[in-house]
Amino acid sequence: MTSTMKTPCIKEDQPSVYVKVMSAGLAACIADAATFPLDTTKVRLQLQGEGKTTGVRSKPVTSLSRSKVKYRGLCHAVGVIAREEGVRGLYKGLVPGLQRQLCFSSVRLGLYDEFKDFYFSLLYKDSENKEMPIKIRLLAGVTTGALSVTLAQPTDVVKIRMQGQSTTSARIYNSSISAYKCIATEEGIRGLWKGVVPNIIRNIAVGVTEMVTYDVTKHKILQSGVLTDGIPCHFLSAVTAGFIAVIVSSPVDVVKTRYMNATTGQYSGIFNCAYGIYSGSGWTGFYKGCVPYFARICSWSIVMFLTYEQLKTIFTPKTNRKTMLNIIEQDKNIRLETRL
């Protein structure tokens, strides 16, 4: 009589929510530190030509005034900042930038899968279709994005202010702590949440687009069998996510940067700020700093997603090697007993 017995299977351990949150925050900090000079350059280019009076109109950059433009592109801006302020000038605002990532990315990326599963079980509880719909991914991205921006907004305001100040700036923040105190004293606690609405809109444009594009691209690649779940798959997904995110979000990012850096009373609101950019520079004004922005977002996405995937693997407890060997040995014995 031949008996059939099930072979034990070794299941790959899945990262817990704590591992995802910790890995996301740490990966984002590493990516931020690696690409921060590009972000500083992007901010300076976006702020260039901004009116410093209470009016909103800036003089457009024409061929007659181009010689007065301080930064003439990515490479030139990097050179000018490094020459005038030293290499440290390219890293102004790094501390609040890392503080932002610990608050922002830990929630935005670390809780994305949890909200995705929650919404799927809530809206598709009795559905036979187990394929994750795109609207569930978008809903999860919007939720974690709004939560993360609201939590991390003060750090983002301080980062933008510190990045925007040059040697000729009227306001000089000596440190991130002094910046927090100065903004809270001069503008009130609300000043630390200045621009939270355009920042949430911007995050819907860039964060959700980036996260969902990465998630969908990775899923499709694995589903097609072209690549396995490894570094090449993660790299291709990250590049695609960064490229799409830049195209969608650049105008919103310019408005957010201008509005958060503005002096009190300079703009009556985000739409007034957007109108000021358009009246001063036209539609091209919304794509100021797009080259360093593209370099920043793409390189940041690559470093962050690759690091995130690797950290999840490292921090996820693996089945003990001795236990695995025992399971394999038991499997061999079962097969021998079955043959006898």
Please, are residues 304 and 28 in contact by the beta-carbon 8 Å criterion? yes
Is 9 part of any domain? no
Overall domain count for the chain: 1
Domain hosting residue 190, numbered range: 17-57+69-339
CATH code of the domain containing 106 = 1.50.40.10
Model confidence pLDDT, tens digit, residues 313-333: 888 876 544 554 565 566 556
Closest residue by Cα to residue 39 from 299, 313, 325 = 299
What burial class does residue 277 get, using C-beta atoms within 10 Å of its C-beta: 0-12 exposed, 13-18 middle, 19+ buried?
buried
Model confidence pLDDT, tens digit, residues 133-148: 889 999 999 999 889 9
**What's the confidence (pLDDT) of residue 2?**
43
**What's the confidence (pLDDT) of residue 54?**
35
Better pLDDT: 275 or 71: 275
Is 5 part of any domain? no
Is 48 part of any domain? yes
- Can you tell me whether residue 34 is helix, strand or coil? helix
Residue that the structure tokens 């900042």 belong to: 81
Is 316 part of any domain? yes
Q: Any idea what the Cα angle at residue 183 is, between residues 182 and 189, rounded to 5°?
A: 125
Distance (Å, whole) CA 71 – CA 122: 51
Model confidence pLDDT, tens digit, residues 168-213: 556 677 788 888 888 888 888 888 888 888 778 877 777 788 888 9
Half-sphere exposure at residue 16, Cβ-oriented, CA atoms within 13 angstroms = 7
Task: Provide the 8-state DSSP code for 3.
Answer: -
Is 287 part of any domain? yes
Is 63 part of any domain? no
**What's the confidence (pLDDT) of residue 339?**
53
What burial class does residue 180 get, using C-beta atoms within 10 Å of its C-beta: 0-12 exposed, 13-18 middle, 19+ buried?
buried
Is 137 part of any domain? yes
Distance (Å, whole) CA 289 – CA 261: 15
Please, are residues 35 and 297 in contact by the beta-carbon 8 Å criterion? no
What integer is the mean pLDDT of 266-288?
Answer: 82
Alpha helices, H only, the chain = 17-47, 74-85, 94-108, 112-123, 134-164, 176-187, 196-203, 209-224, 231-261, 270-281, 290-315, 321-339
What value does the mean pLDDT of the chain take?
79
Is 134 part of any domain? yes
Closest residue by Cα to residue 107 from 70, 71, 153 = 153
Closest residue by Cα to residue 157 from 216, 236, 96, 205 = 96
